[in-house]
Amino acid sequence: MATAASPRVFKNFINGEWVESRSGKAYENRNPANTDELVGIFVASGSEDVNAAVDAATEAYKSWRLVPAPKRAEILYRAAELLLQHKEEFSSDMTREMGKVLAETRGDVQEAIDMTYYMAGEGRRLFGQTTPSELPNKFAMSARQSIGVCGMITPWNFPMAIPSWKMMPALVSGNTVVLKPAEDTPLSSYHLVQILMEAGLPNGVVNLVSGDGPNAGAPLAGHKDVPVVSFTGSTAVGRIIAEMCAPDFKHCSLEMGGKNIIIVMDDANLELAVDGAIWGGFGTTGQRCTAASRVAVHKSVYGEFVSRFVARAKKLRVGDGLDATIDMGPCINEQQLKTVMSYVEIGKAEGAKLLTGGNRLTSGAYAKGWFHEPTVFGDVAANMRIAQEEIFGPVVSVIPVDNFEHAIEVANGVPYGLSASIYTRNVNLAFAAMRDLYTGIVYVNAPTIGAETHLPFGGTKQTGNGHREAAIAAIDFFTEWKTMYIDYSDKLQRAQIDNAE
Ligand code: NAD
């Protein structure tokens, strides 16, 4: 494995072998906390590489689909054990490649472990239905069937968890995989794929092509031999992927942006709500699809909440995530940092009150990374751009609200619908919020982040296109239902016609 002292050249993984790109092109990947550190050199793949990977996956599918699901699952169990053994090493490599603090990268690897065990368990379930036929001497049942080669395009913020959310359900269901990870985080995918091979996955069942979106992602999404495309990333790119999938009616799952909210009611445990807003807003430097970038606070506790929240945000220690004393790492890259800085200017221009932060950090140890201060805007109006658009950085907008109904209106008044939370001790309000928040995930007295692998994950509106990841919902996406009728009457029996007798 690569270490900080020995950056390595990483290759694509096609048909069981680590191979160069057909074009010979490569790119450098650097640590966002210290751009002097080269994490590795990775393949800049093009359509020829994608085609080779899809060919390998197509060939491997012929036999993988026939391997009994419990046997496929045994490989996943072994992979989960191996991931557990390598957890520390993979976590620190992930911090080096994308910046979030070690406690969080350990959580990311753990999520991959959890998902791998969970989907391995599905190998002995994958249940269908048996049901009486309406006709005598006839049997009816349904079973899941695999589909084929699954193209997977993933973002950088959960570099091992998200590929595992897609790969494990696809594999246990009997599909084969071509993964195109985010260009900023190919190393974690490399580790995941290597572990699967060590666990005994046959050649060609999983293939990895690194590279950028237009050159490596687009040829994968549009490939005629890839009937399933699973994408997680921005809404803008998700729309492009959907358009590429539409002509061939591909199965297409899109998990996209968010503008999540924490609602703090007047009866909330304020200290708990502040804890949640700090973790939800600044965990992963605000670069989570479920980040709490908005906090709607009842006007009667607004002043108290804001003063406690700002005091806590000021105390957050920003720096290299490998240092155990650090609370918040850098932004992923220069472009993302610039986006954050531009939204700070937009917020100021819109008349929101900058309560803390607002600046890039450049002095001393910060000089070589993409660091930004934890930033809080107060007196934010719900229709301001900083309260409507996904910033994907350490910027939280606090919005005063008049009452519960107003809070729900603000919560639902954005184009996205991933995660929402309410802090209240009133059980009636908690249940009303669970009913009325139009998001894929709702938390009560907990922040907007904290998904577990055995429950469906995904969002409404411009966050998703109706599918869900994780849990059985993921198996639903990566399989087709086949319904089978077995007539043992030895005569023609017509459904709906002959059952009247
Ligand atoms: P992105 O959309 O820029 O990139 C995502 C992936 O798409 C990358 O692998 C990229 O290379 C690829 N890509 C880019 N252009 C492409 C094209 N034209 N054709 C094919 N592939 C292309 O997103 P990002 O910056 O990596 O991630 C941040 C975004 O991801 C945020 O919007 C965040 O909310 C979202 N996200 C959503 C979830 C979720 O489950 N809803 C989870 C994590 C992240």
Instruction: Count CB-CB contacts under 10 A for residue 170.
Output: 28
Which atom number of ligand 1 is nearest to the Cα of residue 211?
Answer: 11
For 280-339, the DSSP string reads: HHHGGGG-STT---EEEEETTTHHHHHHHHHHHHHHPPBS-TTSTT-SB---SSHHHHHH
CA of 234 to the centre of ligand 1 (A): 4
Q: What is the mean pLDDT of residues 163-189?
A: 98
The token pair that represents 291 in the structure block: 């980040």
Exposed / middle / buried, residue 132 (Cβ in 10 Å: 0-12, 13-18, 19+): exposed
State residue 2's pLDDT score.
Answer: 45
- Widest distance between CA atoms in the chain: 87
Alpha-helical (H) ranges within 351-498 are: 385-388, 404-412, 427-436, 471-478
Residue 60 sits at φ, ψ, to 5 deg, of -65, -30
Return d(Cα 443, Cα 223) in angstroms, integer: 39
Q: Where are the domains of the chain?
A: 46-124+145-256+464-483, 261-444
Same fold yes or no, 46-124+145-256+464-483 and 261-444? no
- The candidate with the shortest Cα–Cα distance to 210, out of 40, 2, 31, is 40
Confidence of residue 7 (pLDDT cuts 50, 70, 90): low
Atom nearest to 221 CA in ligand 1? 20
pLDDT tier, 221 (very low <50, low <70, confident <90, very high otherwise): very high
For residue 434 the two structure tokens come to 């669970």
**Average pLDDT over the chain, rounded to an integer:** 97
Mutate to test the pocket of ligand 1, among 162, 244, 289 (most ligand atoms within 8 A of CB): 289
pLDDT higher than threshold 80 for residue 462: yes
pLDDT tens-digit map of 375-391: 999 999 999 999 999 99
Q: For residue 3, is pLDDT > 70?
A: no
Instruction: Say if residue 51 is exposed, middle or buried (CB neighbours under 10 Å; 0-12, 13-18, 19+).
Output: middle
**What CATH superfamily is the domain 46-124+145-256+464-483?**
Aldehyde Dehydrogenase; Chain A, domain 1 (3.40.605.10)
What's the CA gap between 47 and 216, in Å, rounded?
6
Share of the chain above pLDDT 70, in %: 98
- Pocket, ligand 1, Cβ cutoff 6 A: 153-158, 180, 182-183, 212-214, 217-218, 221, 232-234, 237, 240-241, 255-258, 289, 390, 392, 418, 459, 463
pLDDT of residue 266: 98
Name the DSSP class of 109.
H
Q: How many residues does the chain have?
A: 501
Tell how far the Cα of 71 is from the centroid of ligand 1, in angstroms.
Answer: 33
Whether this prediction's pTM lies above 0.95 is answered by yes
For atom 9 of ligand 1, which residue has the closest CA? 182
Task: Give the contacts of 282 (CB within 8 A, at least 6 positions apart).
Answer: 313, 316, 327, 328, 374, 394, 396
Element (H, E) at 422: strand 419-423
Mean pLDDT of 260-289: 98
Tell me the pLDDT tens digit for each residue of 331-379: 999 999 999 999 999 999 999 999 999 999 999 999 999 999 999 999 9
Q: Which band of pLDDT confidence, cut at 50, 70 and 90, is reported for residue 425?
A: very high
Percentage of the chain with pLDDT > 90? 98
Burial annotation 149-167 (CB, 10 A radius, 16+ → b, else e): bbbbbbbbbbbbbbbbbbb
Containing 224, the helix (H) or strand (E) segment is none
Alpha-carbon gap, residue 77 to 65, rounded angstroms: 18
428 CA distance to ligand 1 middle (Å) = 38
Q: Residue 408: its pLDDT value, please?
A: 98
122-159 pLDDT, tens digit per residue, is 999 999 999 999 999 999 999 999 999 999 999 999 99
Cβ neighbourhood burial of 203 (10 Å; 0-12, 13-18, 19+): middle
Over 90: is that where the pLDDT of 395 sits?
A: yes
Residue 6's pLDDT band (boundaries 50, 70, 90)? low
Token code pair at residue 78: 């072994």
For residues 451-456, average pLDDT: 97
Catalytic residues: 255, 289
How many whole angstroms from 463 Cα to the centroid of ligand 1?
Answer: 12
User: Which pLDDT belongs to residue 40?
Assistant: 96
Fold annotation for 261-444:
Aldehyde Dehydrogenase; Chain A, domain 2 (3.40.309)
With DSSP H G I counted as helix, E B as strand and the rest as coil, what are the percentages for the chain, rounded to 5?
40, 25, 35
77-124 per-position pLDDT tens digit: 999 999 999 999 999 999 999 999 999 999 999 999 999 999 999 999
**Six-digit token string for 52:** 């080779």
Structure tokens at 436: 């009325």
User: DSSP string covering 462-482, please?
Assistant: TTBSS--BSHHHHHHHH-EEE
